Amino acid sequence: MELAGKIRKQIAVSVRLRKEHGLPYIFLHQHKGYRASMLNVEYFIVKVNELFHKYHICDGSEQPWNFTSRQCRKTIVVKMVENGATVTELVYQLGHLNQGTVMQYYADVKSIKLRN
């Protein structure tokens, strides 16, 4: 699959940057003369939607699926909490201004995790 191949390529390309900065993220890049940075989320969304259009991935009404970052927020929170993320890290990653909103997600995930 094209997407899986591109992700494997990005994993290989980002090895040096991940080691150098001690980061686990695969979507790191560095242009010559600039500091390393993470992939821009908006750019990622554009690329995912381009793949949906290219491969005619449609929703229930046969319209091309429109991916947004909101569609995977709960999954991101669950994975981050499972891997030991702090509330502060969740606030930063989700782009909230305070911990109140994130605490709702965090509490839900923690209680689900404790039940399992």
Q: Residue 59 carries which side chain, given as an amino acid letter? A: D
Tell me the three state secondary structure of residue 70.
helix
| This model's pTM is above 0.75 | no
- At residue 7, the pLDDT reads 86
Question: Each residue's pLDDT tens digit in the chain (116 positions)?
Answer: 677 888 899 999 999 998 998 888 888 888 889 888 877 778 888 988 999 999 999 988 998 889 888 777 778 888 888 888 888 888 877 777 778 877 776 677 667 666 66
Q: How many angstroms separate the CA atoms of 13 and 23, rounded?
A: 14
- At residue 9, the pLDDT reads 92
Domain boundary assignment for the chain? 1-65, 68-116
- Taking CA 100 as the corner, what is the angle to CA 97 and CA 104, rounded to the nearest 5 degrees? 125
